[in-house]
Amino acid sequence: MIITNDDELQEEFLTKLTDLYSRQYKDIHVSDLTLCLRQAAYKKLCPKRTTLEQLNFFVDGACRDMAIKEVYGNKGVKKLFMGIRMSTDVTASDGFPIEMKSTRASNGISDHYLTQLTIYMVLQDMREGHLIIQRIVPKQITVTEKQPPFEFKRIIIDEDEFQKIKYTTETNRDILKTALAEKNPLLCPVVHKKDSWVCKSCQWNSPAECPDKP
Ligand code: SF4
């Protein structure tokens, strides 16, 4: 047996993924409104070739989506809600949206997980949703016992929270729309300081492209 690096396959795989992303980037998706609006604008206006690091994110996310579809059935419908495209695959048996996220942290729930799920809830006019958190590195509790690798959460928001999330979603959608119409990603705000970790793997993080990044 001879094993060699297959550079051709790597090139083909990344090219196909770049094409797939560029087709998906045309509409505004919930994920565009979750972390960095400016990055979302750059992805649509100035797409760059997909890297191996992004392939990692893609496979990770695709596995979790596939797990939910396997369990709840693949309805395969994508619709526009408030001008934002989302998949209606993401509902549990009770009809409420469901999202699965993975983390290396052993506790806590990242804000952007809640942001994404609550946008799904608002777009479908629901006050309830489900979040499954996969702890990729479960903590060793005792010599024989490990933290469970999955946590299942029910998220309920009140009317006040619902209206605030709706307002923020509409505002961010409109900012992104304007930046796209003007072909200027710099019209979008940078990511919040607490989420500046996103900048480390951002393809548009050079001082010329994002001079005021946190
Ligand atoms: S460098 Fe940071 S702030 Fe700038 S576009 Fe990328 S993620 Fe957003």
Question: C-alpha 29: how far from its chain's center?
Answer: 9
Q: Whose CA is nearest to atom 3 of ligand 1?
A: 190
Q: Average pLDDT over the chain, rounded to whole?
A: 91
User: Domains of the chain, with CATH numbers?
Assistant: 46-162 (3.90.320.10)
Of all residues in the chain, what percent carry a pLDDT higher than 90?
Answer: 64
Q: Does ligand 1 have an atom closer than 6 angstroms to the CB of 123?
A: no
From residue 214, alpha-carbon distances to 36, 48, 198, 199 in Å are 11, 22, 10, 8
pLDDT in tens, 14-47: 999 988 887 777 789 998 999 999 999 999 999 8
pLDDT tens per residue across span 87-126: 766 788 888 999 999 998 988 899 999 999 999 999 999 9
How far, in Å, is the centroid of ligand 1 from the Cα of 2? 43
> For a substitution probing ligand 1, which of 198, 206, 209 has the most ligand atoms within 8 Å of its CB?
198
Q: How far is the CA of 198 from the centre of ligand 1 (A)?
A: 7
Residue nearest ligand 1's atom 2 by CA: 199
Q: Is the CB of 203 under 6 A from ligand 1?
A: no
Q: How far apart, in whole angstroms, are the C-alpha atoms of residue 204 and residue 131?
A: 30
Cβ of 41 less than 6 Å from ligand 1: no
Using a 6 Å cutoff on CB, does residue 17 contact ligand 1?
no
pLDDT, average across residues 200-214: 95
What is the spatial distance between Cα 55 and Cα 6, in angstroms, rounded to a whole number?
16
Amino acid at 207: P
CA–CA separation, 168 and 175 (whole Å):
10
pLDDT at position 20: 85
Give the number of the atom of ligand 1 that is nearest the alpha carbon of residue 205: 1
CA of 38 to the centre of ligand 1 (A): 6
**Which atom in ligand 1 lies closest to the alpha carbon of residue 196?**
2
What pLDDT does residue 25 have? Answer: 72
